[in-house]
């Protein structure tokens, strides 16, 4: 047995499936998981010393790459003063100012410890403010493991959702409607029927959790119009797109403003941080200013805030978005050429520094399209790339991420390894 296997078998003795989040078990790609010892720039190294070009990048937070010197320096400074006080600290004030100034739809922000926690809190706020209990999400979008959003589409379009996992009472699932992504008609039909009962709509403005799927022209605009017309709160889940698509996230990118924004990943720079942000009319309803309760021992933790603040400051100063887009376009075009040369049909959906290679023909514009992908072929592709020193997300329904550390040299090296992997398919 080699170190990865030995360590992972110990992990399985003490943690369910050996992991603290299911996707890390590499089940859907039928591959033995690796155990990572360190990350640096665009690379990670496993416990056996194998080095990989990393396109998973911890599922999105590391837009500056692993162990960025400025982030490490600021975190080290913060840590020396202690790890947590449970009382307001200067770091959370600074990063709150940074987030609010980046998001023109926000006057205030509340930090929590994960995207899930932010989603849960924002939906409670929407229900509390509107006095309504129904919510709407889209099939294939993922908003963390909160009961109300861990649900699957029911049978018909306007019927209630069903629990996405055992342990969620159907009474809870039945308060959620699940619609097809990018389907304006389904949206209009539901709002005409139940608009007055809907507290909020939560959407990934660019989907990342069915693989990358872009909003069709008019989809976000229709969402904005209908929610305004019926008094429902529009929640943009920007856990992935926030500070990644642009400094102002998808809202800046598309010029559509949500009522509440969910943030995570990049705003923690790799440390556990989530947040929800919105205008004063909504945020002043949150305790202790308002009556809608939400709390957390480690929310606004100084070390996590220092990590996120350093990340945002580097992004604001360097504005790497155009360059990230250029490099991602180059990489996806080269990967596509390699797959075409091998006679493998595929579709690449890309925006900014995030993309997905779907092993299916034709457009992928919703979850049903994405599910047409050849998952067996994806698993083989994953395995061949891993063997050749490239780590991509261990699921067809996730996004590859570039960071500012993925410079042209890294991409050249990555493409050589990807070419070898594809040749072995």
265 is catalytic: yes
Mark the segment that binds ligand KE4 (CB under 6 A) among 110-118, 153-161, 164-172, 343-351. 110-118
Q: Which residues contact 146 (CB under 8 A, 6 or more apart)?
A: 116, 119, 120, 123
Bridge partner list, 358 = 347
- Residue among 43, 52, 59, 134 that touches ligand KE4 (CB under 6 A): 59
Interface of this chain with ligand KE4, residues 61 to 100, rule: CB under 6 A: none
Please tell me whether residue 398 binds ligand KE4 under the rule CB under 6 A.
Answer: yes
Q: Which residues contact 99 (CB under 8 A, 6 or more apart)?
A: 106, 109, 263, 267, 275, 277, 312
Catalytic residue, candidates 183, 237, 259, 369: 237
Which one-letter DSSP state was computed for residue 415?
H
Rounded to an integer, what distance in angstroms lies between the CA atom of residue 100 and that of residue 368? 36
Mark the segment that binds ligand KE4 (CB under 6 A) among 188-196, 203-211, 375-383, 411-419. 203-211
Residue 160 CB neighbours (<10 A): 18
Q: Which residue is nearest to ligand KE4 (CB)?
A: 115
Catalytic residue, candidates 52, 142, 276, 321: 142
Query: Are the C-beta atoms of 425 and 342 separated by less than 8 Å?
Result: yes
Q: How far is CA 421 from CA 84, 260, 339, 368, 380, in A?
A: 45, 43, 11, 28, 9
Please return the burial class of 199, using the count of CB atoms within 10 Å of its CB with bins 0-12, 13-18 and 19+.
Answer: buried
Mark the segment that binds ligand KE4 (CB under 6 A) among 141-149, 210-218, 330-338, 360-368. 141-149
- What is residue 286's three-state secondary structure? strand
369 is catalytic: no
Please tell me whether residue 23 binds ligand KE4 under the rule CB under 6 A.
Answer: yes
Interface of this chain with ligand KE4, residues 111 to 140, rule: CB under 6 A: 114-116, 119
Please tell me whether residue 164 binds ligand KE4 under the rule CB under 6 A.
Answer: no
Residues in contact with ligand KE4, counted by CB under 6 A, come to a total of 19
Please tell me whether residue 367 binds ligand KE4 under the rule CB under 6 A.
Answer: no
Shortest Å, Cβ 28 to ligand KE4: 13
* Closer residue to ligand KE4 (CB): 202 or 339: 202
Query: Are the C-beta atoms of 112 and 330 separated by less than 8 Å?
Result: no
Please tell me whether residue 299 binds ligand KE4 under the rule CB under 6 A.
Answer: no
Active-site residues, by number, are: 142, 237, 265
């Amino acid at each position: 047995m080699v170190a990865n296997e030995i360590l992972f078998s110990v992990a399985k003795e003490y943690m369910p499936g050996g992991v603290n989040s299911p996707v890390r078990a590499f089940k859907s790609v039928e591959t033995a998981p690796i155990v990572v010892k360190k990350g640096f720039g665009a690379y990670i190294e496993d416990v056996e010393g194998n080095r990989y070009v990393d396109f998973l990048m911890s599922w999105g937070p590391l837009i500056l790459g692993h162990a960025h010197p400025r982030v490490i320096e600021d975190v080290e400074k913060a840590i020396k003063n202690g790890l947590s006080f449970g009382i307001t600290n200067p770091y959370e004030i600074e990063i709150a100012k940074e987030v609010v100034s980046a998001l023109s739809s926000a006057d205030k922000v509340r930090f929590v410890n994960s995207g899930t926690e932010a989603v849960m809190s924002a939906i409670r706020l929407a229900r509390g403010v509107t006095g309504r209990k129904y919510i709407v999400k889209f099939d294939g979008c993922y908003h963390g493991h909160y009961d109300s959003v861990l649900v699957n589409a029911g049978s018909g379009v306007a019927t209630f959702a069903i629990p996405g996992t055992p342990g969620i009472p159907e009474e809870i699932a039945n308060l959620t409607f699940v619609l097809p992504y990018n389907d304006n008609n389904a949206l209009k039909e539901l709002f005409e029927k139940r608009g007055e009962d809907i507290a909020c709509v939560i959407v990934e403005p660019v989907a990342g959790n069915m693989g990358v799927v872009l909003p069709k022209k008019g989809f976000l605009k229709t969402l904005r119009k209908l929610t305004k017309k019926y008094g429902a709160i529009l929640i943009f889940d920007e856990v992935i797109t926030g500070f990644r698509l642009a400094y102002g996230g998808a809202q800046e990118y598309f010029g559509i403003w949500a009522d509440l924004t969910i943030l995570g990943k990049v705003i923690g720079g790799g440390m556990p941080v989530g947040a929800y942000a919105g205008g004063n009319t909504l945020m002043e309803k949150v305790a202790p200013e308002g009556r809608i309760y939400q709390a957390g021992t480690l929310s606004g933790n100084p070390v996590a805030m220092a990590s996120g603040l350093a990340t945002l400051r580097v992004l604001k100063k360097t504005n790497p978005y155009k360059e990230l887009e250029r490099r991602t376009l180059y990489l996806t075009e080269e990967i596509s050429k390699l797959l075409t040369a091998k006679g493998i049909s595929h579709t690449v959906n890309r925006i900014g520094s995030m993309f997905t290679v779907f092993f299916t023909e034709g457009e992928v514009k919703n979850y049903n399209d994405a599910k047409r992908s050849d998952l067996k072929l994806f698993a083989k592709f994953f395995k061949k790339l891993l063997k050749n020193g490239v780590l991509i997300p261990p699921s067809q329904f996730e996004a590859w991420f570039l960071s500012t550390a993925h410079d042209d040299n890294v991409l050249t090296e990555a493409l050589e390894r990807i070419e070898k992997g594809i040749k072995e398919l």
